[in-house]
Chains A and B, each alone.
Chain A
Amino acid sequence: MSEAKPTRRHHLGYGRWTPFWFLAPAVFALLVVGIYPTLFALATSFRRYNITRRSDMLDGFPFIGFDNYLTVLSDRTFWDSLLLTGQFYLTVVPIQIVLGMAIALMLHRPGWGFLRTLTRVSLVVPLATTYAVVGLIGRLIFNRDFGVANQFMGWVGISSSDWLGNPTGAFIAIVVMDIWQWTPFVALIFLAGLSMVPVDIEEAARLETKSHWALLRYVQLPYLLPGLTAVLILRSADVLKLFDMVFVMTRGGPGAATDLVSIYVQRVGFKVFDLGLASAQAVMLLVLTIVLSRIYIRIFYREIEA
């Protein structure tokens, strides 16, 4: 009697299915939290979809093609707020990169023991602070009467200023608070990049040159570029959706001095409740983020050869 040949079975609990089960929770979460809302926003952007208008509801939120997109393209306020967001980005990100790099280089130096550990831990504090709380702190710091910003200015002989009451002051105030919150993030990313530099290569380079600049430019920088790309991508996306901190500090004012695009989109979406138009704006910002990300990757990202 011959032995029965074992049949090849694909058990759903293991084998080829194992990676699927490991990935499933993450994929499911992504579908629910990320993909579905994005697709819903995309569908909404092609509809007249104001949830406070009975006529829209009775018409079943009708399909209107690209009307919402055309409205966005011809909306001067949208472009003004996008331009302002660009100015904000171009102001904060270079400063954060320079400061972040400086902090990372200092923390990368040998020595300082406990102080270095303490500094690394304290870098997480601004990151862990909720945006709205950062806004509240900002309101206190830049208060005309009892804010510490005016106190510091008084110490160096500069007369006090009404930061949040004038357009330039308000813009500077939100810039400062964003730099305070996000410079530690940039520093930690760069610090991670610096820790990737092989010790023997770095030590050899230090024997070759005493120039810190040369060491940074030719040895360390290549290891920092992937981190820099990540910083640029993440900060682009973040600035385009920066809302809470600015809203708490200025509500987009005075005038339109701090009316970043996210504040405007929120206003259209949750004050006017024109979800169709707000979705079109959000989709356009998503496209902008993707385009910027591709550009950053093309320009800055380099694989490091082992």
Chain B
Amino acid sequence: MKKQLTSILGACALAASMLGPITSPVQAEWDIAKAAAPFKGEQINVIFLDRPGYRAIIKLLPEFEKKTGIKVNYEIAPYENTREKQVLNFNAKGDLTLALVDLVWIGEFAENGWIEPIEKLSADAAITDPGLNLKGFFPLLLDAFGSWGGKVYGLPFDNYSGLLFYNQCQLKEAGFDKPPATWAELKDVYAPKLTIADKKQYGYALQSLRGETQSCDSFMRVLWPFGGSLLDKNFKSNLLSPQSQAGLKFRQDLAKSMPPGIVSYDHSEAVNALAQGQVSMITEWSAFYGTLTDPATSKLGDCLAVAPEPAGPAGRLPALGGFSLAVASQATEAQKKASWIFIQWATSEEIARPYVEAGGVSGRMSIYEQPDIKAKYKFVEPMVASWQKGVPEFRPRFPAWPAISEVIAEWGTKMQLNEVTTEEGAKQISTRMEDILKKEGYYDGKKELRQ
């Protein structure tokens, strides 16, 4: 009898072990507290920005810390200083255990070995959520924000798409019952009717302050929809191509409908101009939806409406931007594991709803399929539409971008000020940009042409 019982138990154990990978409770249900138990008391460090997505996760942090016992230390820094702080920290083998990776830093951070490919961590089942589901992210976001050279390094955390925010009341008054569908329509039909310069009322504002705002939000925004691009397939400048020039000239023409001194407009000025009714349309990051709906910062109320960015001759190719979170290579093994648990939590499908409700923009597809979310947040549908198609290399993501961005910022502004023609400006940028790329080794075969 005893022998028989042993045989039955043995058979059950064998069966259980064979079924293990499918039905094991460890894999079927992710217990974050259990996974984090070995790292209780561990401190992980990250830099955050003073933007809605970060304020949202900060609100939710106590829940994570309570569940896991892992302490998340964050420092809030202005965007302009974030890369500098991280680069210096990584070089000095500092205390950061997580990297906040802007789309355009992924190449630099990955090639320098400052961040870990997630495969190194996800291979460890004890610290990896079986519901991690990378396919649940918008493919464009995972590809653009988190991947480099075919490897995933970071998971999309603070996600943006360029959107057309507009004052539908002003548009209605001017006789328009829908937003412009194309850039040409915006410039030739809508903007002239909405611009009354004497009353300091303008149809459109394009934030163009020198810096990343100029290079990304202003300059690159007019290249892609017109069929242009920064580089051709050989990494030579494509700025003198008819398509790129068409985009740049379009921006010059559109200036007539913009407030004077648009080159001094950063995001805050453009958003504020719409919020206060001084301009009727802006193309801005989805993240500013919260600012524009907050009665404390916006007079728009129900007049606010959101649409995808207008299409150009090459289609709708809106600005793409955002940040992923990655594990820093300099962290200790325990910190790396704790950081990986945090990243999975902060970008998980489970946290997506509270994150969005707290003001964040999740990179998970499933949350935007929820009817109540769609109904509550006007930006969701145009944003999801924008993320269906886009160019990951909207801005090149290679390590040379920061240097090239500075060149574009200078000469792009000079073009807008009519100090140089679009052709002359493009020539100046091309010469300097190709010089930078040559020094990087892109033209002598030392580096793969990857952007």
A-side residues, CB < 8 A to B, are: 51-55, 57, 77, 144-145, 162, 164-167, 170, 250-256, 259, 267, 270-273
Complex-state Cα separation, A270 to B406, whole angstroms: 11
What is the predominant secondary structure among interface residues of chain B facing chain A? helix
A255–B414 contact, CB under 8 A? yes
CB distance from A71 to the nearest CB of B (A): 10
B262–A165 contact, CB under 8 A? yes
What is the predominant secondary structure among interface residues of chain A facing chain B? loop
A52–B108 contact, CB under 8 A? yes
A52-B112, A53-B399, A54-B111 known; A254 and B210 CB under 8 Å?
A: yes
A255–B410 contact, CB under 8 A? yes
Q: Is residue B21 within 8 Å, beta carbon to beta carbon, of the partner chain?
A: no
A166–B417 contact, CB under 8 A? yes
CB distance from A265 to the nearest CB of B (A): 12
The number of chain B residues with a CB under 8 A from chain A is 33
Q: Is residue B106 within 8 Å, beta carbon to beta carbon, of the partner chain?
A: no
B-side residues, CB < 8 A to A, are: 84, 87, 91, 108, 111-113, 200, 209-211, 214, 259-265, 278, 399, 402-403, 405-406, 409-410, 413-414, 416-417, 419, 441
Partner of A165, one of B211, B261, B441: B261
Q: A253-B410, A273-B87 are in contact. List 12 more A-B contacts (CB 8 A).
A: A52-B112, A54-B111, A55-B441, A164-B261, A167-B417, A253-B264, A254-B263, A254-B413, A255-B210, A256-B414, A259-B410, A271-B84
* A253 surroundings in chain B (CB, below 8 A): 209-211, 214, 263-264, 409-410, 413
A254–B87 contact, CB under 8 A? no
CB-CB nearest in chain A for B108: A52
* B441 surroundings in chain A (CB, below 8 A): 55
Complex-state Cα separation, A54 to B210, whole angstroms: 29
CB distance from A81 to the nearest CB of B (A): 10
B417–A255 contact, CB under 8 A? yes
CB-CB nearest in chain B for A57: B112
* A77 surroundings in chain B (CB, below 8 A): 410
A164-B264, A165-B261, A166-B417 known; A251 and B406 CB under 8 Å?
A: no
Complex-state Cα separation, A77 to B428, whole angstroms: 12
Which of A51, A251, A256, A270 has the largest count of B CB atoms less than 10 A from its CB?
A251
Which of A52, A144, A256, A267 has the largest count of B CB atoms less than 10 A from its CB?
A52
Which of B112, B264, B413 has the largest count of A CB atoms less than 10 A from its CB?
B264
A162–B264 contact, CB under 8 A? yes
Complex-state Cα separation, A164 to B265, whole angstroms: 9
Complex-state Cα separation, A270 to B88, whole angstroms: 9
CB distance from B86 to the nearest CB of A (A): 11
CB distance from B240 to the nearest CB of A (A): 20
* A51 surroundings in chain B (CB, below 8 A): 87, 91
**13 A/B residue pairs, CB under 8 Å, sorted by A:** A52-B87, A54-B112, A144-B260, A144-B264, A166-B260, A166-B417, A251-B209, A252-B210, A253-B263, A255-B210, A255-B417, A272-B403, A273-B402
B402–A272 contact, CB under 8 A? yes
Complex-state Cα separation, A53 to B402, whole angstroms: 12
Which of B113, B262, B413, B441 has the largest count of A CB atoms less than 10 A from its CB?
B413
Complex-state Cα separation, A77 to B435, whole angstroms: 14
Partner of A271, one of B261, B262, B406, B416: B406
* B419 surroundings in chain A (CB, below 8 A): 167, 255
* A270 surroundings in chain B (CB, below 8 A): 84
A166-B417, A259-B410 known; A254 and B399 CB under 8 Å?
A: no
A144–B113 contact, CB under 8 A? no
CB distance from A77 to the nearest CB of B (A): 8
CB-CB nearest in chain A for B83: A271
A165–B260 contact, CB under 8 A? yes
Complex-state Cα separation, A65 to B267, whole angstroms: 43
